[in-house]
């Protein structure tokens, strides 16, 4: 097996591609996702998910600040970040989306988490499904490491073929192959965040970002736009739900109306991610005004700044439930819930009263009671003005189609059939 530096391989790849005709697809390539409810032998403590989401937000904030300040995310810094956030494992997530990708020639299948809060793609977290070296595998001289609020990995960089369905096979995609990892119950992560998040994840650092799978697909002429669409379906039972990634644009068959875009914010540290600015109101009461935060598939709940959370809690009349860690209301209060309104670049997105509820059919699965209703809005753990005042997680994204446009540094939203659903 030959070993090259990342730079020499990059130059070789460039020399080959400049003489190759690029034929781009006009329509996006759709890639199915599986949504899983982690019941942990029939009993899931959602309080762990609240803690995990808050830990993840703290880690994202710390990691972004290190990257934006030009620091290196080495093993020592990774440990400091993990220690600071009192790390909760990824496996504590109540719901998560996975993709089945192929790596190598012929491909070996790996189940990976889909994460917009990171940009490295890596495998090797499970010893029983380790990386298989094939004829397309090329090991570079670099090592790679990434720390998350919900886990970490370190290992070696390879360039290899990555299969994202029968219609999309990437050549010489950079992947990490873990020699050590923490906090993951699947094989790895498919990182689809901004590629600057990969800066200094290689050692020795070369000052260049690693192309994400979306970057590579676009650079190799396999998709027409450097953009990815994300579609999630709400889950109301313990069976698997569905989702979809669309590489190269959006799947218009999933939309009601048109996409409305907003620029990625320049406010730090949200600017390091798919960060946006939004105003949040509960009914007519302002909770956050023009605040910066992020859109994140790796977060289960909708997290808002502590002062906004207190306003929301008091306006709803909710109490904090000790068993689940979530806000709790009764049926009378549920009937009086108002919409949670998000104003984003002049466009209005409405999280209806029903969309603010944890699915009632799953109350006992999270250690709750059928006599109560639980809300999916939680405290991010810091006051507003931090530069990362909110996280719009799964429970937001399940109600809106979302587009992440790398080329134009924009995030887009559109209504779907589930926006106004009363499934919960």
Active site residues: 115, 296
- CB 385, CB 377: distance < 8 Å: no
Residue 58, Cα to own-chain centre: how many angstroms? 15
Host H or E run for residue 177:
strand 169-182
For residue 3, how many other CB atoms are within 10 A of its CB?
9
At 343 the three-state DSSP class reads: strand
Listed as own residue / partner, the contacts of 43-46 with beta carbons closer than 8 Å and 24 or more positions apart are: 43/365, 43/367, 44/94, 44/365, 44/366, 44/367, 45/323, 45/324, 45/366, 45/367, 46/94, 46/324, 46/325, 46/326, 46/358, 46/366, 46/367, 46/368, 46/374
- CB 86, CB 176: distance < 8 Å: no
At 386 the three-state DSSP class reads: coil
- CB 122, CB 189: distance < 8 Å: yes
At 230 the three-state DSSP class reads: strand
- CB 161, CB 106: distance < 8 Å: no
- CB 112, CB 188: distance < 8 Å: yes
């Amino acid at each position: 097996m030959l070993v090259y530096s990342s730079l020499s391989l990059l130059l070789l790849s460039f020399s080959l591609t400049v003489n190759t005709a690029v034929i781009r697809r006009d329509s996006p390539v759709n890639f199915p996702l599986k949504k899983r409810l982690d019941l942990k032998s029939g009993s899931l403590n959602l309080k762990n998910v609240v803690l995990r989401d808050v830990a993840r937000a703290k880690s994202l904030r710390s990691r972004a600040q290190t990257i934006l300040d030009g620091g290196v995310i080495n093993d020592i810094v990774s440990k400091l970040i993990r220690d600071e956030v009192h790390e909760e494992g990824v496996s504590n997530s109540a719901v998560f989306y996975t993709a089945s990708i192929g790596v190598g020639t012929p491909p070996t299948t790996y189940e990976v988490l889909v994460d917009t809060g990171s940009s490295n793609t890596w495998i090797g977290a499970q010893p029983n499904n380790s990386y298989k070296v094939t004829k397309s595998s090329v090991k570079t001289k670099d090592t790679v490491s990434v720390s998350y609020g919900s886990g970490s990995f370190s290992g070696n960089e390879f360039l290899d073929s990555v299969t994202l369905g029968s219609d999309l096979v990437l050549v010489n995609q950079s992947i990490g192959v873990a020699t050590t990892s923490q906090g993951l119950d699947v094989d790895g992560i498919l990182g689809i965040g901004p590629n600057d998040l990969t800066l200094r994840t290689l050692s020795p650092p070369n000052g260049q970002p690693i192309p994400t799978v979306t970057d590579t697909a676009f650079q190799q002429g396999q998709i027409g736009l450097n953009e990815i669409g994300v579609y999630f379906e709400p889950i109301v039972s313990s069976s698997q739900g569905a989702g979809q990634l669309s590489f190269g644009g959006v799947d218009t068959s999933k939309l009601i109306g048109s996409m409305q875009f907003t620029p990625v914010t320049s406010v730090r540290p949200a600017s390091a991610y798919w960060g946006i600015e939004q105003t949040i109101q509960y009914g007519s009461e302002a909770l956050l005004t023009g605040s910066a935060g992020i859109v994140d598939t790796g977060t289960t709940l909708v997290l808002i700044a502590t002062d906004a959370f207190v306003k929301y809690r008091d306006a709803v009349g909710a109490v904090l439930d000790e068993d689940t860690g979530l806000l709790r209301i009764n049926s009378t209060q549920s009937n009086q819930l108002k919409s949670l309104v998000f104003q984003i670049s002049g466009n209005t997105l409405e999280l209806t009263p029903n969309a603010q509820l944890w699915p009632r059919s799953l109350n006992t699965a999270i250690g709750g009671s059928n006599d109560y209703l639980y809300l999916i809005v939680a405290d991010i753990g810091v006051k507003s003005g931090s530069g990362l005042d909110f996280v719009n997680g799964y429970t937001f994204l399940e109600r809106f189609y979302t587009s992440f446009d790398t080329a134009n540094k924009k995030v887009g939203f559109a209504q779907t059939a589930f926006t106004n659903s009363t499934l919960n």
